[in-house]
Amino acid sequence: MKIYLESYGCTANKDNANIIEGILSQHHIFVSNPKEADIIILNTCTVKHTTEQKMVSRIRKYKSKKLIIAGCMATIQKELLQKEAPNASIINTHNITKIEQAINKQIILTKQRKEVKLSLPKSKNNIIQILQGCKGNCNFCITRLEKGRLYSYPKSKIIQEFKKAITKNKVIYLTSQDNACYGLDKNHHSQLPELLNEILKIKGNYKIRIGMMNPTHTLPILKELITVYKDQKIIKFLHIPVQSGSNKVLKEMNRFHSVEDFKKIVKLFRKAIPDITISTDIIVGYPTETELDFQQTLKLLKQIKPEVLNISRFTSRPHTLAAKLKQLSTEIKKQRSRISANLLKNNYQD
Protein backbone atom coordinates (compact mmCIF):
# COMPACT_ATOMS: atom_id res chain seq x y z
CA MET A 1 0.00 0.00 0.00
CA LYS A 2 1.02 3.61 -0.59
CA ILE A 3 0.49 5.63 2.59
CA TYR A 4 0.43 9.38 3.19
CA LEU A 5 0.94 10.46 6.83
CA GLU A 6 0.01 13.91 8.07
CA SER A 7 0.80 14.72 11.72
CA TYR A 8 0.12 17.61 14.10
CA GLY A 9 0.74 18.55 17.71
CA CYS A 10 3.34 18.17 20.41
CA THR A 11 6.74 16.47 20.42
CA ALA A 12 5.21 13.26 21.79
CA ASN A 13 2.77 13.19 18.89
CA LYS A 14 5.68 13.65 16.47
CA ASP A 15 7.25 10.58 18.05
CA ASN A 16 3.97 8.69 17.68
CA ALA A 17 4.07 9.58 13.97
CA ASN A 18 7.65 8.24 13.79
CA ILE A 19 6.43 4.98 15.36
CA ILE A 20 3.47 4.70 12.97
CA GLU A 21 5.79 5.20 10.01
CA GLY A 22 8.36 2.82 11.44
CA ILE A 23 5.82 0.02 11.92
CA LEU A 24 4.06 0.39 8.58
CA SER A 25 7.12 1.03 6.42
CA GLN A 26 8.19 -2.58 7.00
CA HIS A 27 5.49 -3.70 4.55
CA HIS A 28 4.24 -0.51 2.89
CA ILE A 29 5.51 2.61 1.11
CA PHE A 30 5.10 6.16 2.40
CA VAL A 31 4.53 8.90 -0.16
CA SER A 32 4.75 12.68 0.14
CA ASN A 33 1.73 13.44 -2.06
CA PRO A 34 -1.74 12.50 -0.72
CA LYS A 35 -3.04 12.16 -4.28
CA GLU A 36 -0.71 9.18 -4.78
CA ALA A 37 -1.81 7.42 -1.59
CA ASP A 38 -4.05 4.38 -1.16
CA ILE A 39 -4.39 5.18 2.55
CA ILE A 40 -4.18 8.47 4.43
CA ILE A 41 -3.28 8.60 8.12
CA LEU A 42 -4.15 11.78 9.98
CA ASN A 43 -2.37 12.00 13.35
CA THR A 44 -4.51 14.57 15.15
CA CYS A 45 -4.13 17.19 17.88
CA THR A 46 -7.03 18.78 19.75
CA VAL A 47 -5.41 20.97 22.42
CA LYS A 48 -7.12 24.13 21.12
CA HIS A 49 -10.44 24.81 19.39
CA THR A 50 -8.65 26.30 16.38
CA THR A 51 -6.57 23.13 16.07
CA GLU A 52 -9.71 21.00 16.27
CA GLN A 53 -11.27 23.05 13.47
CA LYS A 54 -8.18 22.45 11.34
CA MET A 55 -8.36 18.71 12.03
CA VAL A 56 -12.03 18.57 11.01
CA SER A 57 -11.15 20.45 7.81
CA ARG A 58 -8.41 17.89 6.99
CA ILE A 59 -10.77 14.99 7.72
CA ARG A 60 -13.35 16.42 5.33
CA LYS A 61 -10.67 16.80 2.70
CA TYR A 62 -9.48 13.20 2.95
CA LYS A 63 -12.60 11.19 3.93
CA SER A 64 -13.30 10.11 0.34
CA LYS A 65 -10.12 8.00 0.57
CA LYS A 66 -9.38 5.15 2.94
CA LEU A 67 -8.68 7.16 6.11
CA ILE A 68 -7.11 6.27 9.45
CA ILE A 69 -7.54 8.90 12.19
CA ALA A 70 -5.01 8.65 15.01
CA GLY A 71 -3.90 10.97 17.79
CA CYS A 72 -5.60 12.85 20.60
CA MET A 73 -9.02 13.36 18.99
CA ALA A 74 -9.62 9.62 18.91
CA THR A 75 -10.52 9.08 22.58
CA ILE A 76 -12.40 12.22 23.56
CA GLN A 77 -14.04 13.09 20.26
CA LYS A 78 -14.76 9.68 18.77
CA GLU A 79 -18.40 10.61 18.04
CA LEU A 80 -17.34 13.74 16.15
CA LEU A 81 -14.87 11.73 14.06
CA GLN A 82 -17.46 9.05 13.27
CA LYS A 83 -19.92 11.73 12.21
CA GLU A 84 -17.38 13.41 9.92
CA ALA A 85 -15.89 10.21 8.50
CA PRO A 86 -18.12 7.18 9.14
CA ASN A 87 -15.86 4.80 7.24
CA ALA A 88 -12.58 5.85 8.87
CA SER A 89 -10.57 3.74 11.28
CA ILE A 90 -9.98 5.48 14.62
CA ILE A 91 -6.94 4.67 16.77
CA ASN A 92 -6.01 6.65 19.88
CA THR A 93 -2.53 7.28 21.30
CA HIS A 94 -2.80 4.20 23.55
CA ASN A 95 -3.08 1.79 20.61
CA ILE A 96 -0.73 2.99 17.86
CA THR A 97 1.24 -0.27 17.95
CA LYS A 98 -1.90 -1.91 16.49
CA ILE A 99 -1.99 0.43 13.48
CA GLU A 100 -1.27 -2.41 11.02
CA GLN A 101 -4.73 -3.83 11.75
CA ALA A 102 -6.32 -0.75 10.13
CA ILE A 103 -4.67 -1.28 6.75
CA ASN A 104 -7.12 -3.93 5.49
CA LYS A 105 -10.24 -3.28 7.58
CA GLN A 106 -12.02 -0.56 9.56
CA ILE A 107 -11.23 -0.69 13.27
CA ILE A 108 -12.06 1.49 16.28
CA LEU A 109 -9.47 1.37 19.10
CA THR A 110 -10.16 4.10 21.65
CA LYS A 111 -9.80 2.42 25.04
CA GLN A 112 -6.99 3.58 27.30
CA ARG A 113 -4.30 1.07 28.12
CA LYS A 114 -0.66 0.97 29.12
CA GLU A 115 1.39 0.97 25.93
CA VAL A 116 5.15 1.43 26.25
CA LYS A 117 6.32 3.43 23.23
CA LEU A 118 9.89 2.15 23.40
CA SER A 119 11.82 -0.57 21.55
CA LEU A 120 9.61 -0.04 18.50
CA PRO A 121 10.47 0.54 14.83
CA LYS A 122 10.73 4.28 14.08
CA SER A 123 11.34 6.42 11.02
CA LYS A 124 13.34 8.78 13.28
CA ASN A 125 14.53 8.01 16.78
CA ASN A 126 15.66 11.38 18.15
CA ILE A 127 12.59 11.65 20.45
CA ILE A 128 12.10 9.41 23.48
CA GLN A 129 8.83 9.37 25.41
CA ILE A 130 9.44 8.58 29.08
CA LEU A 131 5.84 8.30 30.27
CA GLN A 132 2.22 8.68 29.29
CA GLY A 133 -0.49 10.64 31.12
CA CYS A 134 0.13 13.04 33.99
CA LYS A 135 -0.73 13.77 37.61
CA GLY A 136 -2.44 17.08 36.86
CA ASN A 137 -6.16 17.79 36.88
CA CYS A 138 -6.41 21.15 35.13
CA ASN A 139 -9.98 22.28 34.53
CA PHE A 140 -9.21 23.50 31.00
CA CYS A 141 -7.15 20.59 29.65
CA ILE A 142 -8.57 18.08 27.19
CA THR A 143 -5.20 16.37 26.73
CA ARG A 144 -5.24 14.85 30.22
CA LEU A 145 -8.61 13.25 29.42
CA GLU A 146 -7.09 11.57 26.38
CA LYS A 147 -3.76 10.57 27.89
CA GLY A 148 -5.25 9.21 31.11
CA ARG A 149 -3.47 8.20 34.28
CA LEU A 150 0.27 8.50 34.72
CA TYR A 151 2.30 5.52 33.60
CA SER A 152 6.07 5.88 33.81
CA TYR A 153 7.98 3.72 31.35
CA PRO A 154 10.61 1.32 32.74
CA LYS A 155 13.97 2.99 33.26
CA SER A 156 15.85 0.08 31.68
CA LYS A 157 13.85 0.39 28.44
CA ILE A 158 14.41 4.17 28.29
CA ILE A 159 18.16 3.69 28.70
CA GLN A 160 18.16 0.97 26.03
CA GLU A 161 16.26 3.30 23.68
CA PHE A 162 18.67 6.15 24.44
CA LYS A 163 21.74 4.03 23.60
CA LYS A 164 20.17 3.21 20.26
CA ALA A 165 19.20 6.85 19.60
CA ILE A 166 22.68 8.32 20.10
CA THR A 167 24.11 6.16 17.32
CA LYS A 168 22.22 8.30 14.79
CA ASN A 169 21.47 11.60 16.54
CA LYS A 170 23.43 14.38 18.24
CA VAL A 171 20.42 15.80 20.13
CA ILE A 172 17.91 13.61 21.94
CA TYR A 173 14.57 14.97 23.12
CA LEU A 174 13.08 13.48 26.31
CA THR A 175 9.38 14.21 26.19
CA SER A 176 5.97 13.57 27.75
CA GLN A 177 2.95 15.49 28.97
CA ASP A 178 4.93 16.40 32.11
CA ASN A 179 8.48 15.04 32.50
CA ALA A 180 8.65 16.04 36.17
CA CYS A 181 5.94 13.42 36.89
CA TYR A 182 8.29 10.59 36.04
CA GLY A 183 8.12 7.98 38.80
CA LEU A 184 5.26 9.55 40.75
CA ASP A 185 3.01 6.61 39.89
CA LYS A 186 5.54 4.61 41.88
CA ASN A 187 5.50 7.19 44.73
CA HIS A 188 9.11 8.10 44.06
CA HIS A 189 9.69 11.86 43.82
CA SER A 190 13.32 11.82 42.69
CA GLN A 191 13.05 9.37 39.81
CA LEU A 192 13.50 11.96 37.02
CA PRO A 193 16.90 13.15 38.33
CA GLU A 194 17.88 9.52 38.92
CA LEU A 195 16.86 8.62 35.36
CA LEU A 196 18.84 11.54 33.94
CA ASN A 197 21.90 10.65 35.99
CA GLU A 198 21.75 7.08 34.68
CA ILE A 199 21.48 8.32 31.11
CA LEU A 200 24.39 10.73 31.55
CA LYS A 201 26.66 7.80 32.45
CA ILE A 202 26.34 6.66 28.84
CA LYS A 203 29.40 7.68 26.84
CA GLY A 204 28.98 9.47 23.54
CA ASN A 205 28.85 12.77 21.70
CA TYR A 206 25.28 13.87 22.38
CA LYS A 207 23.09 16.53 23.99
CA ILE A 208 19.80 16.06 25.86
CA ARG A 209 16.87 18.45 25.63
CA ILE A 210 14.44 17.93 28.49
CA GLY A 211 10.82 18.64 27.65
CA MET A 212 8.08 20.40 29.57
CA MET A 213 7.78 20.12 33.35
CA ASN A 214 4.98 21.60 35.43
CA PRO A 215 5.98 23.71 38.47
CA THR A 216 4.05 21.52 40.95
CA HIS A 217 6.11 18.44 40.23
CA THR A 218 9.37 20.28 39.54
CA LEU A 219 9.48 21.86 43.00
CA PRO A 220 10.08 18.63 45.02
CA ILE A 221 13.02 17.66 42.76
CA LEU A 222 14.34 21.19 42.21
CA LYS A 223 17.72 20.82 43.93
CA GLU A 224 18.56 17.51 42.23
CA LEU A 225 17.28 18.77 38.88
CA ILE A 226 19.46 21.88 38.94
CA THR A 227 22.48 19.71 39.68
CA VAL A 228 21.68 17.50 36.68
CA TYR A 229 21.15 20.54 34.45
CA LYS A 230 24.70 21.71 35.16
CA ASP A 231 26.03 18.74 33.20
CA GLN A 232 27.50 19.87 29.86
CA LYS A 233 25.40 17.31 28.01
CA ILE A 234 22.12 18.87 29.15
CA ILE A 235 20.84 21.68 26.91
CA LYS A 236 20.21 24.72 29.08
CA PHE A 237 16.52 25.03 28.27
CA LEU A 238 13.74 24.90 30.87
CA HIS A 239 10.12 24.75 29.72
CA ILE A 240 7.96 25.43 32.76
CA PRO A 241 4.39 26.65 32.10
CA VAL A 242 2.94 29.10 34.63
CA GLN A 243 -0.35 29.77 32.71
CA SER A 244 -1.32 32.79 34.85
CA GLY A 245 0.27 35.40 37.10
CA SER A 246 -2.77 35.38 39.38
CA ASN A 247 -2.95 32.87 42.23
CA LYS A 248 -6.74 33.23 42.15
CA VAL A 249 -6.89 32.15 38.52
CA LEU A 250 -4.38 29.34 39.09
CA LYS A 251 -6.63 27.99 41.82
CA GLU A 252 -9.69 28.33 39.58
CA MET A 253 -7.81 26.50 36.81
CA ASN A 254 -7.09 23.74 39.36
CA ARG A 255 -3.39 24.18 38.85
CA PHE A 256 -1.56 22.94 41.94
CA HIS A 257 1.23 25.53 42.00
CA SER A 258 1.39 29.19 42.99
CA VAL A 259 3.02 32.16 41.33
CA GLU A 260 5.59 32.09 44.13
CA ASP A 261 6.44 28.45 43.34
CA PHE A 262 7.08 29.39 39.71
CA LYS A 263 9.23 32.38 40.64
CA LYS A 264 11.28 30.28 43.06
CA ILE A 265 12.04 27.69 40.39
CA VAL A 266 13.09 30.32 37.84
CA LYS A 267 15.16 32.25 40.40
CA LEU A 268 17.13 29.21 41.57
CA PHE A 269 17.72 27.90 38.05
CA ARG A 270 18.99 31.29 36.87
CA LYS A 271 21.19 31.68 39.93
CA ALA A 272 22.80 28.27 39.35
CA ILE A 273 22.82 28.45 35.52
CA PRO A 274 22.91 32.11 34.39
CA ASP A 275 22.75 31.29 30.68
CA ILE A 276 19.65 29.11 30.92
CA THR A 277 16.73 29.79 28.57
CA ILE A 278 13.41 29.98 30.37
CA SER A 279 10.32 29.06 28.37
CA THR A 280 6.84 29.47 29.81
CA ASP A 281 3.21 29.39 28.70
CA ILE A 282 0.32 31.69 29.58
CA ILE A 283 -3.39 31.41 28.88
CA VAL A 284 -5.16 34.73 28.43
CA GLY A 285 -8.90 35.12 28.70
CA TYR A 286 -9.64 32.22 31.05
CA PRO A 287 -13.36 32.54 31.95
CA THR A 288 -12.68 33.79 35.50
CA GLU A 289 -9.75 36.08 34.58
CA THR A 290 -10.51 39.69 35.52
CA GLU A 291 -8.60 42.72 34.28
CA LEU A 292 -6.73 42.74 37.60
CA ASP A 293 -5.78 39.07 37.13
CA PHE A 294 -4.49 39.83 33.65
CA GLN A 295 -2.43 42.76 34.94
CA GLN A 296 -0.86 40.40 37.50
CA THR A 297 0.18 38.13 34.63
CA LEU A 298 1.79 41.07 32.83
CA LYS A 299 3.54 42.05 36.06
CA LEU A 300 4.94 38.53 36.44
CA LEU A 301 6.22 38.53 32.86
CA LYS A 302 7.99 41.86 33.42
CA GLN A 303 9.64 40.42 36.53
CA ILE A 304 10.68 37.08 35.04
CA LYS A 305 11.32 38.14 31.43
CA PRO A 306 11.18 34.60 29.99
CA GLU A 307 13.26 34.19 26.85
CA VAL A 308 10.47 32.14 25.26
CA LEU A 309 6.79 32.92 25.81
CA ASN A 310 3.95 30.84 24.40
CA ILE A 311 0.67 32.78 24.48
CA SER A 312 -2.63 30.91 24.15
CA ARG A 313 -6.01 32.57 23.83
CA PHE A 314 -8.41 30.52 25.96
CA THR A 315 -10.87 28.35 24.08
CA SER A 316 -13.16 25.92 25.87
CA ARG A 317 -12.61 22.24 25.17
CA PRO A 318 -15.33 19.58 25.31
CA HIS A 319 -15.77 17.50 28.49
CA THR A 320 -13.71 19.94 30.60
CA LEU A 321 -15.01 21.85 33.64
CA ALA A 322 -13.86 25.17 32.18
CA ALA A 323 -16.22 24.66 29.24
CA LYS A 324 -19.18 24.98 31.62
CA LEU A 325 -18.12 28.47 32.79
CA LYS A 326 -19.40 31.70 31.30
CA GLN A 327 -16.88 32.63 28.64
CA LEU A 328 -15.22 36.02 28.17
CA SER A 329 -15.87 37.83 24.91
CA THR A 330 -13.71 37.12 21.89
CA GLU A 331 -12.67 40.78 21.80
CA ILE A 332 -11.37 40.71 25.39
CA LYS A 333 -9.33 37.57 24.63
CA LYS A 334 -7.93 39.06 21.44
CA GLN A 335 -7.01 42.28 23.22
CA ARG A 336 -5.21 40.50 26.05
CA SER A 337 -3.40 38.31 23.55
CA ARG A 338 -2.23 41.38 21.60
CA ILE A 339 -1.05 43.15 24.74
CA SER A 340 0.93 40.06 25.85
CA ALA A 341 2.48 39.64 22.41
CA ASN A 342 3.47 43.31 22.29
CA LEU A 343 5.03 43.03 25.74
CA LEU A 344 7.18 40.16 24.48
CA LYS A 345 8.02 42.05 21.29
CA ASN A 346 9.17 45.06 23.32
CA ASN A 347 11.33 42.86 25.57
CA TYR A 348 8.90 43.22 28.50
CA GLN A 349 9.06 47.00 28.50
CA ASP A 350 5.86 49.07 28.53
pLDDT for residue 64: 94
- Report if pTM > 0.75: yes
Q: How confident is the model at residue 150 (pLDDT cuts 50, 70, 90)?
A: very high
pLDDT for residue 190: 75
Q: Would you say the C-alpha torsion 288, 312, 53, 20 has a positive or negative sign?
A: negative
Q: How confident is the model at residue 175 (pLDDT cuts 50, 70, 90)?
A: very high
pLDDT for residue 335: 98
Segment 13-37 mean pLDDT: 97
Decide if pLDDT at 24 tops 80: yes
Decide if pLDDT at 189 tops 80: no
Segment 9-38 mean pLDDT: 97
Among the listed residues 280, 292, 275, the one whose alpha carbon sits nearest the alpha carbon of residue 234: 275
Q: What angle do CA 149, 77, 127 make, to 5 degrees?
A: 55
Among the listed residues 140, 149, 174, 173, the one whose alpha carbon sits nearest the alpha carbon of residue 46: 140
pLDDT for residue 186: 86
Decide if pLDDT at 50 tops 80: yes
Decide if pLDDT at 188 tops 80: no
Q: How confident is the model at residue 187 (pLDDT cuts 50, 70, 90)?
A: confident
pLDDT for residue 168: 95
CB environment 269-300: b (16+ within 10 A), e (fewer): beeeeeebebbbbbbbbbbbbeeebbebbbeb
pLDDT for residue 206: 98
Instruction: Enumerate domains of the chain plus CATH numbers.
Output: 2-109 (3.40.50.12160), 139-345 (3.80.30.20)
| pLDDT tens track for 211-269 | 999 999 999 999 999 999 999 999 999 999 999 999 999 999 999 999 999 999 999 99
pLDDT for residue 277: 98
Segment 285-312 mean pLDDT: 98
* Summary mean pLDDT of the chain: 96
Q: How confident is the model at residue 350 (pLDDT cuts 50, 70, 90)?
A: confident
pLDDT for residue 330: 97
First to last CA, the chain: 57
Q: Would you say the C-alpha torsion 16, 126, 187, 216 has a positive or negative sign?
A: negative
The DSSP string of 202-243 is S-SS-EEEE----HHHHGGGHHHHHHHHTSTTB-SEEE---B
pLDDT for residue 147: 93
CA distance 58 to 8: 11
